[in-house]
């Protein structure tokens, strides 16, 4: 058994935690520009365990976060997904806003839009991932793990969950992290936590956005997207639209 302690909470064994599909078992912790750091199997396994830990936080956490209205940068992107008949992937794809393509996974129960032109890549640990062919830090990925929780509030506040993910999962030991914002939203009968953070490496800074949710089937979902800080002004609206579009189908 591997125990992980955070803020006084002892989190149980994560050795057998399932992560996504078997052909995509890479860690979400490492950005493409530092992929060489993650080639060792120990690094990959470590991150899988950390993600499972986040999805299995103890019940002693009583943090209660206030609700915030999430800023919709591209009006209607999230609403479009929530109001569409999501059991019809073709119908959803036809409703993708100009400049976006749709991903609909009825088996794993989620959907989202991503910028048109990004290419699908195989990243272990991720259920699916897309990235820009020129800018390696411009990407989006989905990670899914099992959890015995039924609601995000059982795990903690948006700030607490975001801080844990940013510090323990989405940044490497050599990076400095800064959580900028964390919010809560209810959509289509589900609770979503969204967050924004910086991951500062010696040679680049990634500005990232993420969202998490728990399905009725006991799955903890994480969508992560971002870009190099030097391109944030150009990419911010597009990336916020990606995060806002993510929705559970089950």
Q: How does pLDDT run across 59-69, given as a tens digit for each residue?
A: 333 332 222 23
- The domain in which residue 200 lies consists of 4-248
> Rounded to the nearest 5°, which phi and psi values hold at 191?
-100, 135
Cα(232)–Cα(196) distance, integer angstroms: 12
**What CATH number is associated with residue 68?**
3.40.1000.10
- Structural domain tally of the chain? 1
Count of beta carbons in the 10 Å neighbourhood of residue 117:
12
Q: How does pLDDT run across 217-246, given as a tens digit for each residue?
A: 999 999 999 999 999 999 999 999 999 999
Residue with tokens 């969950």: 161
- For residue 181, the cross-strand partners are 196
CA-wise closest residue to 142 among 171, 122, 163: 122
CA-wise closest residue to 208 among 110, 127, 160, 141: 141
Question: Would you state the pLDDT for residue 250?
Answer: 77
Question: Would you state the pLDDT for residue 138?
Answer: 98
The full DSSP string for 91-111 is HHHHTPPTTEEEEEETTTTEE
Q: Is the pLDDT of residue 51 over 60?
A: no
């Amino acid at each position: 058994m591997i125990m992980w302690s955070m803020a006084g909470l002892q989190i149980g064994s994560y050795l057998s935690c399932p992560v996504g599909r078997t052909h995509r078992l890479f860690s979400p912790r490492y950005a493409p520009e530092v992929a060489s750091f993650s080639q060792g199997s120990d690094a990959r396994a470590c991150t899988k365990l950390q993600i499972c830990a986040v999805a299995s936080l103890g019940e002693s956490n009583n943090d209660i976060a206030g609700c915030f209205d999430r800023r919709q940068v591209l009006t209607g992107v999230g609403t479009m997904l929530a109001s569409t008949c999501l059991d019809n992937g073709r119908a959803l794809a036809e409703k993708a806003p100009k400049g976006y393509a749709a991903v609909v996974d009825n088996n794993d129960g989620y959907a989202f839009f991503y910028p048109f032109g990004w290419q699908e890549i195989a990243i272990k640990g991720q259920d699916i991932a897309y990235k820009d062919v020129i800018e390696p830090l411009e990407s989006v990925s989905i990670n899914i793990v099992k959890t015995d929780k039924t609601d995000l509030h059982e795990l903690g506040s948006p700030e607490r969950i975001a801080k844990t993910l940013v510090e323990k999962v989405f940044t490497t030991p050599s990076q400095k992290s800064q959580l900028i914002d964390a919010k809560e939203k209810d959509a289509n009968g589900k609770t979503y936590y969204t967050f924004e953070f910086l991951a500062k490496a010696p040679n680049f800074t990634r500005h990232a956005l993420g969202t998490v949710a728990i399905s009725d089937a006991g799955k903890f979902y994480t969508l992560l997207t971002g870009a190099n800080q030097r391109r944030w002004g150009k990419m911010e609206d597009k990336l916020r639209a990606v995060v806002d579009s993510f929705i559970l189908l089950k």
